[in-house]
Structure 1
């Protein structure tokens, strides 16, 4: 979480400076692509503030109304961020681009402190500054993301990541760099070919990039909102720990769910051998709780239900029989079906 917070602060500072520069350039030259990019950077800044709010609210302690805490707050705010990008960035950029295509005008020269400057070079200079600032922000986000992803591919790491703040910042920064390249291309071609309509098409291109990014983030965050299982590696480690207990006759089910980026709930349904004394059952349960929490620092709650295999199969839709013993192999995954 510390890595994502640092990346957010870096991105927010960079985007605020970039937004100011872009809006000044759009005001001085009338460039629609520059205006779209300014709106994009302003939306990104607001999004980073929302993510910081979500991270802070997610740290609130559990209470009577929310006994499992507020960890999912960050997922809700990440979804709102994706919605903001869609409406505040993508739709606005497409609208402005369509308007520029209908009413094309060349970039106006700018007058700063009585000095007349070429509108083209004003736009190019601001976009160049924006690319450098956004590149630095993206490098910080990539460093934090690379530390988390390990040996997994980037797409797999994003799909498995339970920290939406980190991958949202990374995806935003990458989309911002793509948008800047599109804006620079549109401004340069509009000037060289004397076709100001290309500035409008560049704005539409930026809007499409933002909409695509927002849909991707919505899909990824949606899974976290409704509840995702822990990584398969964590689930397999839990299964292995349970199978090592000789008192456990069968593993009915292993369920895990992320209540927040660093908050995993584990629920086990186990069938103990009938001859195992009650005292041994209690000691086994206590030992399993300690071992499972030691397997991953993110495991904060462990619930163990002692249930006969047949009873569990009858109560659980889709359960199958017969029951394996506690030392038989079980298929990997977030749940071991009956």
Structure 2
């Protein structure tokens, strides 16, 4: 996985979640708090999720084969989607079930200092993990808002870790609130309510992750800035006069396919056109280094024929409009 994949943030989150999961489970054994059990399963699920992200990054580095000529870059999207499934099923649904059972059969929290102490420790550890994810993300985020970064990022790892860490922090606060109210009132129902809130939170985060990674799995075009750079790089004003139609597709977070029909002069020789295409490919790779697979088809521009192409709603000769997910 490249540096842009956020390996440091994933490893930091994995280390924090393993330690927190063990501490929470010990606290559950002493206190019998359903919030602590739900949170221990939550941290265990998060640890598994980070392992999945690391595995996906490793598998994505495999070389292309005849059966998979464009490589395995999308493995990272597949494993990110699996994360959302694990978070929904193992984390969210289990917390809902445990919360329901605790509300149905409430009991007082024993050895209150265990869950309170572990939750405070967990909040501190998760804060450091979240801080690492924010620092790693800021390198790529630029001027985008956090919502735009999560929605438009082509590398799934950092958005996943960010949402998981945010969910973990909010979940810990909910667990602390549930345990605290149960201790203050002496009513274990509050512990169950806190557990239910954790379950709802995890399911909402899982749905957001599933929606975002689904779009990546289906195949997304390059961002508008990259599309403009590619379109500008193709045209040399001499042999290549315009882009008639263009399609871009992310084969992975750091690999882009570019396919375009380009207009050339009607009296150009085959040698001149071949040289112009080679030069255009070189300019594209210089302008957008992740554009690694490029197919350029020369044609004689006709406004009537261009209107029949795949970009009927686009300005004739202009690049394909794109929209991020």
Band of TM-score, shorter chain:
over 0.9
Deviation per residue, 1:139-198 (Å, 9 max, x gap):
111101111100111111111111111110111000000000000011111111222100
Aligned length: 320
CA distance in structure 2 between the partners assigned to 1:332 and 1:321 by the alignment: 7
After TM superposition, the score normalised by the length of structure 2 is 0.94
Work out whether 1:298 is the aligned partner of 2:290. yes
Aligned pair in 2 of structure 1 residues 323, 123: CA closer, same or farther (>3 Å)?
closer
Work out whether 1:261 is the aligned partner of 2:262. no
CA distance in structure 2 between the partners assigned to 1:52 and 1:322 by the alignment: 43
Work out whether 1:217 is the aligned partner of 2:209. yes
CA distance in structure 2 between the partners assigned to 1:320 and 1:183 by the alignment: 52
After TM superposition, the score normalised by the length of structure 1 is 0.90
Give the match's secondary structure for 2:112. Answer: helix
CA distance in structure 2 between the partners assigned to 1:124 and 1:168 by the alignment: 28
Match of 1:33 in 2: 35
CA distance in structure 1 between the partners assigned to 2:314 and 2:152 by the alignment: 31
> For 1:60, which of 62, 68, 75 is the aligned residue?
62
Match of 2:299 in 1: 307
Aligned pair in 2 of structure 1 residues 320, 160: CA closer, same or farther (>3 Å)?
closer
Deviation per residue, 1:68-87 (Å, 9 max, x gap):
00000010010011000000
Match of 1:193 in 2: 185
Match of 1:5 in 2: 7
Aligned pair in 2 of structure 1 residues 280, 68: CA closer, same or farther (>3 Å)?
same
Per-residue deviation, 1:245: 3.0
Give the match's secondary structure for 1:253. Answer: strand
Q: Which runs of 5+ in 2 are unaligned?
A: none
CA distance in structure 2 between the partners assigned to 1:120 and 1:238 by the alignment: 61
CA distance in structure 2 between the partners assigned to 1:28 and 1:291 by the alignment: 65
Aligned pair in 2 of structure 1 residues 312, 88: CA closer, same or farther (>3 Å)?
farther
Aligned pair in 2 of structure 1 residues 99, 284: CA closer, same or farther (>3 Å)?
same
Per-residue deviation, 1:36: 0.4
Does the CA-based 8 Å contact 1:30-1:107 persist in structure 2? yes
CA distance in structure 1 between the partners assigned to 2:87 and 2:281 by the alignment: 42
Work out whether 1:182 is the aligned partner of 2:174. yes
Deviation per residue, 1:267-322 (Å, 9 max, x gap):
11112121122222111101110010011221111110123445964863563698
Per-residue deviation, 1:248: 2.4
RMSD: 1.8
